[in-house]
Every structure is written in structure tokens, then in C-alpha cells.
Structure 1
């Protein structure tokens, strides 16, 4: 296999990975609890606490992963980071 064909194959795989919109957590593929769809938009939100906000340390709060279903728009929150399914 030539260098060009290997490079082409690698770039195609990278492009597919970037377009992937399926996620998993702890080895389990995530599906929408409302409609059963498995394609999501990924986001992140800060889990603010009153104590840290009071002393202007919001940046020190933990974050949550947010998945919005592309079919029904149901939003699910995860305390741990979700992983993209390749």
C-alpha cells in the first residue's frame, strides 16, 4: 500500500470520526430515554454551587456533559464525560 493511499484512508477515517454523533459512557452506548434515537449534539455546562458563586470561584466548579437528541431535542445530563463512538 502506497503512502498516498494510506494517507487517504487515514484522512477518511478521521473525517468519519469527526462526523460521528453517537456517544457512550462506561462502555454502554447512549440512546435517548424519550424516543430511543442514538444521535446527539454534545455540549458542556458548569455545575455552579452557591458557595463558590458567593466567593466568585465559579470557575472552580465541576462540569457536566450534555447530550441533546437530534430527533426530539430531549436533553440528558451526565456527571462524567461521555466518549464519542467511533
Structure 2
């Protein structure tokens, strides 16, 4: 394999990696409401309630999905998990 073909293959892989951190919800691409960025880190957070915490049953609480903007670090909360754009 020549240097040029290896370089082209590497650049193609790098371009695919650029979109690896973009997400969508119900067909709409996620966009940061603070800076307009489109690259995010996906996370989850537990939604604790006073009643279940009092009973020591925090594990029974629901959770939310989070998208943290890689440009400005603004965190957006979602009830359903965003899908990664491939």
C-alpha cells in the first residue's frame, strides 16, 4: 500500500471520528443552546426523590440523559437517551 493511499485512508478515518460525538433526538440534531456547538459528551444522572432516599431506595429512582457541550461545557438534560449520529 502506497503512502498516498495510507494517508487517504487515515484522513477518511479522522473525518468519521469528527461526527462520533454528535447526537440526535427524534430525528433532530442536538445543538447547544448556549454556544451553538454540536459536539457533546453523553452522560446520565440519577433523579433522586426525598421519599425513596428516606427509605434508602435511591437505586429505584429514575435517571436522565445528559449532553455536555465540548465547546462551552453547558449541560442539557433529556428524559430519553439521545442517539449517536453515525
TM range, normalised to the smaller chain? Answer: 0.7 to 0.9
Residue 26 (structure 1) shift: 1.2
**TM-score normalised over the length of structure 2:** 0.76
Counterpart in the other structure of 2:29: 29
Deviation of residue 66 (structure 1)? 0.7
2-structure distance, mates of 1:67, 1:32: 9
Matched ranges for 1:61-80 at <5 A? 61-80=61-80
Counterpart-to-counterpart distance in 2, 1:49 and 1:84: 29
Following TM superposition, by how much is the alpha carbon of 1:81 offset from its aligned partner in structure 2, in angstroms? 1.1
**Would you say how many aligned residue pairs link Structure 1 and Structure 2?**
72
In structure 1, stretches of 5+ residues that fail to align are 1-11
1:44 matched to which residue of 2?
Answer: 44
- Displacement of 1:71: 0.4
Question: Rg bigger for which structure?
Answer: 2
Looking at structure 1, the residues matched to 83 and 26 of structure 2 have their Cα atoms a distance apart, in angstroms, of 9
Deviation at residue 64 of structure 1 after TM alignment: 0.5
The TM-score normalised by the length of structure 1 is 0.76
Q: Secondary structure at the match of 2:53?
A: helix
